[in-house]
Chains A and B, each alone.
Chain A
Amino acid sequence: MPVHPTASPTLSGTPVVALDGVGKTFANGVVALDRLDLAVHTGEFVSLLGPSGCGKSTALRIIAGLSAPSRGQVAWADGGAADARTVGAHRIGFVFQEPTLMPWATVAANVRLPLRLAGLKADAPARIDAALARVGLAGFAQSYPRELSGGMKMRASIARALVTEPALLLMDEPFAALDEITRFRLNNDLLALWQSLRKTVVFVTHSVFESVYLSQRIVVMTPRPGRVFTELAIDAPFPRDESFRTSADYAGYCRLVSDALAAAIGAGEGS
């Protein structure tokens, strides 16, 4: 079985964004992140895996520029500043744990939002149609969010994140609140999107199974304070489908990652 736990990423390519010794201490004294070193490479699918309270969402917010690091550096490949106003508009798509749609606006208007805010008015209708078609919501442009199921709302949310054609897609436990059947289907659709669009994806999750199924690389984090415990490469070939989910390879990776996660939790509690 081709399993290589590695201290440094084995993937080639330039980092899109690199976190260097990033830490975050909240005003109430809670240390969410201790020292996080993380390089995200062009085109890769990387998961941040850890128990709740390990600061993985905080790390994602820091990358997005929604939260300022207390210590350390966030370096972008093109030298841009890590500030929400300059970084966000074109380079980043963000998918929250909740669909976070505007309930008063149609699906099309929700997907149009990033274009409007970023002032990208040219060919907006075509981009919206394309984004909705990509996530399988072509017929629902004029629906309101409350008319959609949970899975469809999340699809609309992903369409919104993709509409500006960002280089980097940040996803914060996007499928955690969905039922298993819907989650599996969205996992497959997300992988298909990733393969066709070649976006760089940083995916935060607390699910071992989900992270193994989706990722090329898994960064396992320790709880309170959050630190990188280890990185694991998942070398199974793409495209992956349901047959991968039942394969021996998948089971092996899951056991490996579970063990790493258990060790990470132990290490976090020990410190």
Chain B
Amino acid sequence: MTEAGPKHEAASRTDRALRVLLPFVVLGLGVVLWGAVVHWRDIPPYVLPGPVLVFDTLVADWAMLSEALLVTLTTTLQGFALAAVGGIGLAVLFNQSRLIEYSLYPYAVILQVTPIVAIAPLLLVYLPQPAAVLACAWIVAFFPVLANTTLGLNSVDRNLADLFRLYGATRRQVLWDLKLPAALPYILGGLKIAGGLSLIGAVVAEIAAGSAGAGSGLAYRIVEAGYRLNIPRMFAALLLLSLAGIVIFFALSLVSHLLLRRWHESALAREV
């Protein structure tokens, strides 16, 4: 199989290049098609602005939009951080005490299954607006962290657990040296979901708060631009929101990859 080596390598390199390139090709085609349709059908900008106009609006309104982006991102990251700490912390607490788990787990589920859009207006009644927005981001994001961490903590190799017992490990050693490392891939999976969800939570709360008359985040800007029929600005703000989501996803994927690449199956290079 002397010839297969380089050929195989070349094939896998082509495959990797395609994986990166093809989404961009589709994006390019989509934008060109969008522009062409707007141009040929002569669609007015207050119905559907073309890509060039959206980009121009993004540049023109950059001062306002970037400020709004910063507000939304701050809320998102705070919500995410609280969700990570709360989700992992609660899962560890549940794992250490069955009674606490029995007492609180149903309420974590109830918090998760009640639509956040329905909770947000109530939170805005009882909490100052920034706290309410943050609470929304947290509520949406924390459950996947809790559920995944719980699953991870319970997925410890039984023989390894026996080995720890054999050598007289303390509860603390079992938690830090066995359960948490074993749960790490699950925790990171939960965090990856939570990153996207905390952005959704922040956006939902901003929209709810926007109708209450306050707020300066990106979602609020979208609502405001909608009222003013400033459709190009809605698109520009939406573009920023989805870029923020993409960046969050890739940042968390990168962290996950760096932490797991030496040992976990999920981080192994895929054989083509």
Contact = CB atoms under 8 A, between A and B. Distances in A.
A186 to B, nearest CB: 19
B166 A66 contact: yes
Contacts of A146: 263, 265, 268
A84 B168 contact: yes
Given A144-B262, A146-B263, A98 B165 contact: no
Contacts of B171: none
B249 interface: no
Contacts of A14: none
A100 B167 contact: no
A64 interface: yes
Contacts of B184: 104
B226 interface: no
A253 interface: no
Contact of B181 (A65, A92, A102): A102
A114 B181 contact: no
Given A104-B181, A117-B173, A144-B263, A88 B168 contact: yes
Interface string B168-197: 110001000110011010000000000000
Interface stretch (B54-62, B79-87, B154-162, B204-212): B154-162
Contact of A88 (B160, B166, B178, B264): B166
A118 B170 CA distance: 10
Contact of B167 (A104, A117, A145): A117
Interface in A215-243: none
B173 A100 contact: no
Interface residues of B, number: 22
Contacts of A88: 165-168
A181 to B, nearest CB: 22
B160 A100 contact: yes
Contact of A102 (B160, B166, B167): B160
Given A103-B264, A144-B263, A94 B166 contact: yes
Interface in A247-261: none
B164 interface: yes
B25 interface: no
Contacts of A100: 157, 159-160, 163
Interface residues on A, range: 20 to 34
B159 A96 contact: yes
Interface string A65-81: 11000000000000000
Nearest to A83: B168
Contact of A118 (B167, B178, B182): B167
A37 B262 CA distance: 47
A89 B168 contact: yes
B159 A113 contact: no
A85 interface: yes
Interface in B241-271: 262-265, 268
Interface string B135-165: 0000000000000000000000101101111
Q: Of A61, A65, A103, which is in contact with the most chain B CB atoms at under 10 Å from its CB?
A: A103
Given A98-B159, A100-B163, A104-B181, 19 more contacts: A65-B166, A84-B166, A86-B168, A88-B166, A88-B167, A89-B167, A100-B157, A100-B160, A102-B160, A102-B181, A103-B263, A103-B264, A104-B182, A105-B181, A113-B177, A116-B173, A117-B164, A117-B177, A145-B263
